[in-house]
Structure 1
């Protein structure tokens, strides 16, 4: 009788943040593991704030291979890394830690998520684009649009000084306009980085027919469609849900953690089912 085949070591990954209960990351990553046959991988959510991040990471055993990071950890995580990618440095945000032979490597997959979500609907290249909002996600949006070839980016924001600071993100011509003009820039691609709620609804009130034929990525994925998404659709834009960005950034994390190609379709299906989105929502 042959010796039994030893079982593979269970490998672990997870998402950290505070609050973290709303995170879709476990749904997406677990769907990816199931589709890829990675039965020895697990993915869990952990409530961790900034003060708790260093001891949490220091206490992880060697079977931990990767961490997804949400607010408020995207800045503090860089201090725990042995290396930081150029993308994460430019975005000034880390949403991924990957264990390497020399320590943790920090990356930002939100930028990839934005680029991939737009490419998936046929936006392969743009010269001009618009970013709505000037918060932390706006930096990732600028980088994602530069990845599609944008050399002229208009930022529509309530705070001009914050918007102008985005000029150091990449080598682009940056123009700042009032947020009320976000739909009148004539850009073929628009990324709204506004959160859900009142800011999103207020911007929706300024949508007009200047959006006809444009592609609008709204990074919000909860309570879909948002007021901005509905208004953009009503004025002739093609709208992409923030869920698609979320899926693609998670898929990139999946690849960094496991070293295997991500089953994007399975991850999309799981995310859409969890939120009740139809495939063309």
Structure 2
């Protein structure tokens, strides 16, 4: 990935740092992963108390970092200034690095006790929306931090919109240093946190034992991304939606890039305002030399993606929704892989489509895409939806019949595609289905969904969402990169 200073040598690795937020013995698996990667461990003493570092050194080969994060900095330490001073002076000196919050901990006494090579000077601020933190403001804050000699500097802002996570990245690019880590936290900060090492940040933080979905776990950092290595990246891609932190797409795409030696990086890009922020975010990343080449679009932005694009594929136009945006020389082209996902999964399962009476339950972007795919292959499905407005609109768009969910009779159909996000309950009964009925469930869940479980119990043929996803991801990969994706099952 090009840097602000093209002549600067490209850093080949970064340190993966696990933020320990619970008792270490409950998370031995992630500690082993971290140790194999040579990563460091941040002990969040404000959350779990002071732990003897000698105990931890048996489990982690990297550096140990002591953090007593205050409530003002987003932590939970609420003691007095004297209690904080005594804990930093007593426990902190036994760690490789001690996080010192600027202004609060950078007193002459503490600085005299903790030498520069053990200091990690930290600053925590608010997003542009809350405090007007642009690049100039961040530069001023760092200028104050840099007057205190230290081995590392850490700057964290809280982002409330996708574009606000760009400011720390601009800071890294402008500073052109190798001892500053800067990123945003909050729902929209994941992309910047993961991209920061390619812009010079020497560390990337993941959580161990934490519950916040916006912060990736150490396991996800090491399994979904090429970390701690920093291979060259010339093309940036991502998955865009309101809730994308649990998406498996980064793992699949990044593994394929590594297998092919392709200089790409695939990241989660959460946003609560897709239409309002997409062009700002991509332009901002472009200005950093991080060219966005394409993205997977998930709920609830599939229809918005169609409106944003300058060009649209025939399949996306027919479905009235898009789940892929690909950059061209003149703008964005919208595609949908939902049709090929369903039809391709049925083909792999050797399900013959001719003569099938089909129904598609769910009339959102995925359901309309599935129906369009079946239509193309000679099957005319009936659309089923709980809410009549979306169901009638989809029926008019595709020229199909619509049946309200409460009047849906599953036994009348030999092929049923479930295209709603409901995973924990059955939307329709399976008791009267014929033995040769095939069900396709588009919902991807870590555990088998209620529909998949019930269908398997009745020994019906069922294709789960993971089979469909594999086909769709391969097609998305091809659209974005022009390359064939290696089979992720091999």
Equivalent residue, structure 2, for 1:66: 294
User: Per the alignment, in what secondary structure is the counterpart of residue 42 of structure 1?
Assistant: strand
What 5-or-longer segments of structure 1 have no aligned partner?
1-6, 270-281
Look at both structures and tell me which one has the larger radius of gyration over its CA atoms: 2
Q: Residue 22 of structure 1: CA displacement?
A: 1.3
Compare 79-88 and 249-258 and name the one that shifted more.
79-88
The two structures have a TM-score, normalised by structure 2, of: 0.48
Mark the CA change 1:55 to 1:157 in structure 2 (over 3 Å): closer, same or farther.
same
Equivalent residue in structure 2 for 1:186, among 413, 422, 426? 413
Change (3 A) 1:73 1:176: closer
Relative to structure 1, the CA distance from residue 231 to residue 240 in structure 2 (aligned partners, 3 Å threshold; closer, same or farther) is same
1:114 aligns with 2:339: no
Per the TM alignment, residue 148 of structure 1 is displaced from its structure 2 partner at its CA by 2.8
Alignment of 1:155-166 (within 5 A): 155-160=383-388, 162-166=390-394
The runs of 5 or more residues in structure 2 that have no matched partner are: 1-230
TM alignment of 1:5-24, pairs within 5 A: 10-24=234-248
**Residue in 1 aligned with 2:186?**
none
Q: Which runs of structure 2 are paired with 1:8-87 in the superposition (5 Å)?
A: 10-35=234-259, 37-50=260-273, 51-61=276-286, 63-87=291-315
Residue 134 of structure 1 aligns to a residue whose secondary structure is coil
Please say if residues 132 and 191 of structure 1, whose CA atoms lie closer than 8 Å, have aligned partners that are also in contact. yes
| Equivalent position SS for 1:12 | strand
> Would you say 1:143 and 2:372 are equivalent positions?
yes
Seen in structure 2, the aligned counterparts of structure 1 residues 255 and 94 have a Cα distance that, compared at 3 Å, is same
Shift of 1:116: 1.2
CA distance in 1 between partners of 2:262 and 2:244 (Å): 24
Distance 1:178 1:207 in 2: 14
Q: Distance in 2 between matches of 1:81 and 1:158?
A: 29
Pairing 1:131–2:356 present = no
CA deviation vs aligned residue, 1:214-252 (integer Å, no higher than 9, x gap): 211111111431111122223331111111222211111
Q: Name the CA shift for 1:237/1:261 in 2 (closer, same or farther; >3 Å).
A: same
CA contact (8 A) 2:303 2:365 kept: no
Deviation sequence 1:171-198 (CA, Å, 0-9, x none): 55x25264464421132x2101132245
Q: Residues 43-99 of structure 1: CA distance to partner in whole angstroms, max 9, x if unpaired?
A: 111222223223113334273221111223222223332211121122222211111
CA distance in 1, matches of 2:407, 2:254: 41
Matched residue, 2:421 = 195
The alignment covers a number of residue pairs equal to 254
The DSSP-based 3-state class of the residue aligned with 2:398 is coil
Tell me, what secondary structure is at the counterpart of 1:52? Answer: helix
| CA distance in structure 2 between the aligned counterparts of 1:59 and 1:157, rounded to whole angstroms | 40
Pair 1:60–1:78, CA change in 2 (3 A): farther
Residue pair 1:142, 1:169 contacting (<8 A) in 2 also: no
Distance 1:161 1:77 in 2: 21
Cα 1:160–1:63, aligned 2, differ >3 Å: closer, same or farther? closer
Contact 1:20 1:45 in 2 (8 A): yes
The equivalent residue for 1:250 is: 473
The residue that corresponds to 1:273 in the other structure is none
Q: Is the partner of 2:391 in helix, strand or coil? A: helix
Structure 1's 25 and 75: CA in aligned 2 closer, same or farther, altered over 3 A? same
User: TM-score when scaled to structure 1?
Assistant: 0.80
- With over 3 angstroms needed to count, the CA separation of the structure-2 counterparts of 1:238 and 1:65, relative to structure 1, is same
Supply the distance in 2 between the matched residues of 1:46 and 1:14 (Cα, whole angstroms): 6
Contact 1:143–1:169 under 8 Å retained in 2: no
SS for the counterpart of 2:427 is: helix
Residue 136 of structure 1: how far off its partner (Å): 3.6
